């Protein structure tokens, strides 16, 4: 009798245990179905699908790791009580799984709405860059631009709007325009003078526009009717710029057309004087003086050449022809003072003072020369005379 009871109890336990085993499998299947349901509802987000699958697998792994199978005797003893608990709980495990699945569905929908808020996206899978990569690729306003050296980060690309593209010229067009553009030289125009190159060049030279005069006279020297005057004026312009060699070339061109032109010979002789060719200048100026004996410019240039050649008496005569005795005295005295012949210069200045006593310039030059030669008393006397001169400066030491 005892054996039959024990056998009956064991059979009941085995039946209960076998009935409970499919229940656990059904609970696990319901959890999987809940997870699959979440995946189907959130098919537009690959991240949520992967997260739900991982959660189910993690739950299965955790359950497999935490559950420890007791020995056979304990399982047989506790099987009736576990079966009763499952029966009276009313499928609480399935309810818990459904609640959890509903929460996962709500979170997935909220994440989907947050991601789709800036703009709708397609259902294609998108790989999210890391935070460091996104910061490196995102251009900032304060980021320094490349300065010609090689950089590891790629340069920022600025996309222009269609209106900006229409208003901005292409680089090739800008380069072509800058290559073809050539600023025009400003040439002043002298009013009241004929507009031909020779007349304008002469007027420009007279008003101090040397470079502009050369531009006009260069045209007149090629196409103008008066080649002698055009080349002669070109020589004067280059002499003013200090280009005496080039000036002499234009004078020679004019001389080749008119060899007895006193004006051309005078200008050529003066250019040779400026170029320190005194003997050549003297020969040309003498010829010019014979052709035009009353020309004061030729006489003055001839006097300057005589002064460079230390022929001061001849220089005095030519200065006198050019401007009179007072002019000759002061000009010859200046040449002598420049050459270091102070006492001879004093004689000419004293003679000039007798011709024009109120001259303050002559008194200043005499004071300077008296101090150089040690004639202190004469210097003080000249200073007192200069102080009494109305409207004149006092002295030069």
Rounded to two decimals, the pTM is: 0.52
pLDDT tens profile 188-227: 777 788 888 888 889 999 999 999 999 999 998 888 788 9
**Alpha helices, DSSP H, located in 258-359:** 262-274, 278-291, 296-308, 312-323, 325-338, 342-355
Q: How many CB atoms lie within 10 A of CB 268?
A: 26
Q: Is 304 helix (H, G, I), strand (E, B) or coil?
A: helix
pLDDT tens profile 70-124: 567 677 777 777 776 666 655 555 566 677 777 887 877 777 676 555 444 444 4
pLDDT tens profile 284-331: 999 999 999 999 999 999 999 999 999 999 999 999 999 999 999 999
User: Which of the listed ranges 79-93, 153-167, 253-267 does the model predict with the highest average pLDDT?
Assistant: 253-267
pLDDT tens profile 11-30: 776 666 665 554 444 444 45
User: What does the CA dihedral 142, 146, 149, 153 come to, rounded to 10 degrees?
Assistant: 70
* CA 22 vs CA 19, 28, 81, 289, 360: distances in Å: 6, 10, 16, 143, 138
Lowest pLDDT segment from 50-59, 186-195, 333-342 = 50-59
Domains, in order of start, for the chain: 2-109 (no CATH), 195-259 (1.25.40.10), 276-321 (no CATH), 324-397 (1.25.40.10)
Dump the DSSP string for 219-286.
HHHHH-S-HHHHHHHHHHHHHHTT-HHHHHHHHHHHHHH-TT-HHHHHHHHHHHHHTT-HHHHHHHHH
């Amino acid at each position: 009798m005892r054996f039959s009871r024990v056998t009956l109890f064991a059979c009941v336990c085995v039946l209960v245990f076998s009935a409970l085993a499919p229940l656990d499998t059904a609970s696990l299947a319901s959890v999987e179905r809940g997870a699959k349901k979440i995946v189907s509802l959130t098919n537009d987000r690959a991240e949520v699908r992967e997260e739900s699958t991982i959660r189910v697998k993690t739950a299965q792994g955790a359950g497999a790791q935490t559950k420890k199978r007791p020995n056979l005797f304990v399982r047989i003893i506790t099987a009736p009580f576990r079966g009763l608990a499952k029966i009276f709980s009313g499928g609480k495990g399935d309810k818990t799984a459904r609640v959890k699945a509903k929460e996962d569905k709500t979170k997935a929908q909220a994440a989907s709405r947050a991601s789709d808020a800036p703009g709708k996206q397609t259902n294609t899978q998108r790989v999210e860059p890391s935070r460091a990569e996104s910061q490196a690729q995102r251009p900032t306003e304060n980021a320094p631009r490349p300065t010609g050296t090689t950089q590891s980060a790629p340069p920022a690309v600025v996309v222009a709007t269609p209106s900006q593209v229409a208003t901005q010229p292409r680089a090739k067009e800008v380069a072509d325009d800058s290559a073809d553009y050539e600023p025009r030289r400003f040439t002043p125009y002298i009013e009241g003078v004929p507009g031909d190159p020779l007349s304008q060049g002469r007027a420009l030279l007279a008003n101090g526009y040397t470079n502009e005069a050369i531009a006009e006279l260069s045209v007149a020297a090629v196409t103008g009717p008066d080649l002698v005057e055009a080349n002669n004026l070109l020589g004067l312009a280059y002499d003013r710029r200090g280009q005496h060699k080039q000036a002499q070339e234009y004078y020679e061109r004019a001389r080749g057309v008119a060899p007895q032109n006193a004006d051309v010979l005078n200008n050529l002789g003066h250019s040779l004087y400026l170029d320190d060719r005194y003997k050549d200048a003297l020969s040309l100026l003498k010829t010019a003086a014979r052709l035009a004996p009353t020309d004061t410019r030729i006489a003055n240039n001839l006097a300057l050449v005589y002064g460079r050649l230390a022929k001061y008496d001849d220089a005095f005569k030519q200065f006198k022809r050019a401007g009179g005795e007072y002019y000759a005295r002061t000009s010859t005295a200046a040449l002598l003072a420049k050459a270091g012949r102070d006492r001879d210069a004093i004689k000419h200045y004293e003679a000039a003072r007798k011709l024009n006593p109120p001259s303050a310039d002559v008194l200043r030059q005499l004071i300077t020369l008296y101090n150089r030669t040690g004639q202190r008393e004469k210097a003080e006397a000249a200073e007192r005379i200069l102080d009494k001169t109305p409207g004149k400066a006092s002295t030069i030491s």
